[in-house]
Amino acid sequence: MQKKESWEQNLKQQARKEIYKKMTVWGGILLLCIVGLAGLVMFAGKSTSTNQTPVELSTLPAPKSTDIIVGDKNAKVVITEYADFQCPACAANNPITNRVLEEYKGKVKLVYRFFPLRGIHKNALISAQAAYASWRLGKFEEMKDMLYENQSSWENLGDPSETFVNYAKDLGLNENEFKALMTSDEAKKAVESGEKESLGLGLNSTPSFFIGNKRFQLQGFDGFKKVIDEELSRQ
């Protein structure tokens, strides 16, 4: 009887030791995970901070006669935007750039360049061609706003061409002239040229903004204001 009790005691002690051992191992693993996660958070925080500092790009093409320009063409401060009309972030940012152009009227101009993300946005190309056709017919700003404001209505359509024709009609453009331009090789080549330029600069997201030749992350109206004021103070 005594031997049995002693055997049971030993068995219980061994079981407790195994439990303590497992708890120690799992505790160490958990500690390593926490430390690793903290390191990733710190690294991500540093990356975000670094990315928000304006980066100078000496290879940014200067404004040219074939560019789409919104605002006073003689304005000293140049904002260059590489964008995709099917991009939700571009649509969300459009009211901000409109406000910038309004509040800095005569001082700032926006150079709009096409960067259709065709790999993820099936209607990026044709929507850009619609915008190009509207520019050729003198209604780019109006079509730009209409495409962004109604993005959810056309982004999933199999072929939104007729929708864009209706937008053009609402803007007072000639239906046949607009449609011919939108589907022309001229429009397609213009959009593809912008796409090629964007990729050549190493851009990989939209919208990508530059003020002068300095690229900066989206920071709302105040972010624009800070950089624009700095540019104006140097002139």
Q: Are residues 28 and 98 in the same domain?
A: no
- Residue 63's Cβ-count burial label (10 Å; 0-12, 13-18, 19+) is middle
In this predicted structure, which of 6-10, 66-70, 213-217 has the lowest mean pLDDT?
6-10
142 or 32, higher pLDDT: 142
134 or 14, higher pLDDT: 134
Element (H, E) at 83: strand 77-83
Tokens of 178: 């607009």
Which residues neighbour 144 within 8 Å (Cβ) at sequence distance 6 or greater?
Answer: 70, 85, 94, 112, 131, 134
Whether 78 maps to a domain, the answer reads yes
Please determine, for residue 123, whether its predicted confidence score (pLDDT) is greater than 60: yes
- How many other C-beta atoms are found inside a 10 Å radius of the C-beta of residue 10? 10
Average predicted confidence (pLDDT) for the chain = 82
What pLDDT is attached to residue 212? 87
What Rg do the C-alpha atoms of the chain give, in angstroms? 28
Q: Are residues 2 and 78 in the same domain?
A: no
Q: What is each CA distance from 126 to 12, 70, 120, 161, in whole angstroms?
A: 75, 21, 14, 7
CATH number at residue 227: 3.40.30.10
Q: Are residues 189 and 133 in the same domain?
A: yes
Q: What average pLDDT does this structure show over 182-197?
A: 97
What pLDDT is attached to residue 32? 42
Whether 57 maps to a domain, the answer reads no
- Residue 7's Cβ-count burial label (10 Å; 0-12, 13-18, 19+) is exposed
Among 152, 140, 19, 7, CA closest to 81: 140
Q: Are residues 140 and 213 in the same domain?
A: yes
DSSP 3-state of 109: strand
Whether 61 maps to a domain, the answer reads no
Q: Are residues 17 and 119 in the same domain?
A: no
192 or 62, higher pLDDT: 192
Whether 59 maps to a domain, the answer reads no
Q: Are residues 191 and 107 in the same domain?
A: yes
- How many other C-beta atoms are found inside a 10 Å radius of the C-beta of residue 119? 7
Q: Are residues 100 and 125 in the same domain?
A: yes
Whether 198 maps to a domain, the answer reads yes
What pLDDT is attached to residue 57? 60
Whether 100 maps to a domain, the answer reads yes
Q: Are residues 75 and 169 in the same domain?
A: yes
Q: What average pLDDT does this structure show over 148-162?
A: 98
Q: Are residues 93 and 207 in the same domain?
A: yes
Q: Are residues 111 and 202 in the same domain?
A: yes
Q: Are residues 116 and 167 in the same domain?
A: yes
Whether 172 maps to a domain, the answer reads yes
Where does the pLDDT of residue 217 fall: very low under 50, low under 70, confident under 90, or very high at 90 and above? Answer: confident
- Give me the number of domains the chain comprises: 2
Residues 56-110 pLDDT 10s: 566 789 888 889 999 999 999 999 999 999 999 999 999 999 999 999 999 999 9
Q: Give the whole-number percent of the chain exceeding pLDDT 90.
A: 67
Where does the pLDDT of residue 1 fall: very low under 50, low under 70, confident under 90, or very high at 90 and above? Answer: very low
What pLDDT is attached to residue 214? 86
Q: Are residues 117 and 25 in the same domain?
A: no
Whether 199 maps to a domain, the answer reads yes
In which domain, by residue range, is 9 found?
1-51
